Chain A
Amino acid sequence: DTAVSQTPKYLVTQMGNDKSIKCEQNLGHDTMYWYKQDSKKFLKIMFSYNNKELIINETVPNRFSPKSPDKAHLNLHINSLELGDSAVYFCASSLTSGGADEQYFGPGTRLTVT
């Protein structure tokens, strides 16, 4: 199936731990994003990569570090997890070079920090 996929779907961990979320898209898109959706459903962009280059870096604690090994993958590593990091994290991708605008979202990763 062509899609944006994320692993894991659920992540429960304790404060202070380090965790990673992986994202892959097989749509041939050149731009990938990480969004955080909090309990109030607000969707806030965190990072964006275009052709492996970081192009958007919002005001996010430096405990969050994205990594894009290639155009099809964008991973998110979080150090020293805090209670406030609990949220659903969505990966998305789009084809900006082709003039297309639609962002395709992954299924989300529900992170719970206890």
Chain B
Amino acid sequence: GENVEQHPSTLSVQEGDSAVIKCTYSDSASNYFPWYKQELGKRPQLIIDIRSNVGEKKDQRIAVTLNKTAKHFSLHITETQPEDSAVYFCAARSSGGYQKVTFGTGTKLQVIP
């Protein structure tokens, strides 16, 4: 089955700096890679996603890149703000049958004002 590794597990940045979270996946058949943000005590919510036919996607201050050859993808947050503080999960979904989404282990991002 799919295995998703996520690094780092914790990340502290100064407000205004950039943050990068990296994930690797094992199943070359995976074709969809979402990122979820979970604020303290709240539910996970999708913030951005990318499909395997695209190398990069941006949405305002967040961007995701995908390297299919190396089987890794990354989340980039620029000009970080205190409200970006949360746990971020990467995930990968395989293409066959009923596609199960496998989540990474999460990165706790702290933005220091």
- Interface residue ranges, A against B (CB under 8 Å): 31, 40-45, 48, 50, 55-56, 90, 96, 101-103, 105-108
Given A56-B98, A101-B93, the answer on whether A106 and B43 have CB atoms closer than 8 Å is yes
Question: Looking at chain B's contact residues, is the secondary structure mostly helix, strand, loop, or mixed?
Answer: strand
The complex places the Cα of A103 from the Cα of B44 at a distance, in Å, of 9
Q: How large is the interface on B (under 10, 10 to 19, 20 to 34, 35 or more residues)?
A: 20 to 34
Q: Report yes or no: B105 in contact with A42, Cβ–Cβ below 8 A.
A: yes
Given A41-B87, A105-B43, the answer on whether A96 and B34 have CB atoms closer than 8 Å is no
**Contact sample, A vs B, 15 pairs, CB 8 Å cutoff:** A31-B98, A41-B38, A42-B106, A43-B44, A43-B89, A44-B103, A45-B101, A45-B102, A55-B98, A96-B99, A101-B34, A102-B49, A103-B46, A107-B43, A108-B43
Q: Which residue of A lies closest to B102 (CB)?
A: A45
- Interface residue ranges, B against A (CB under 8 Å): 32, 34, 38, 42-46, 49, 87, 89, 93, 97-103, 105-106, 108
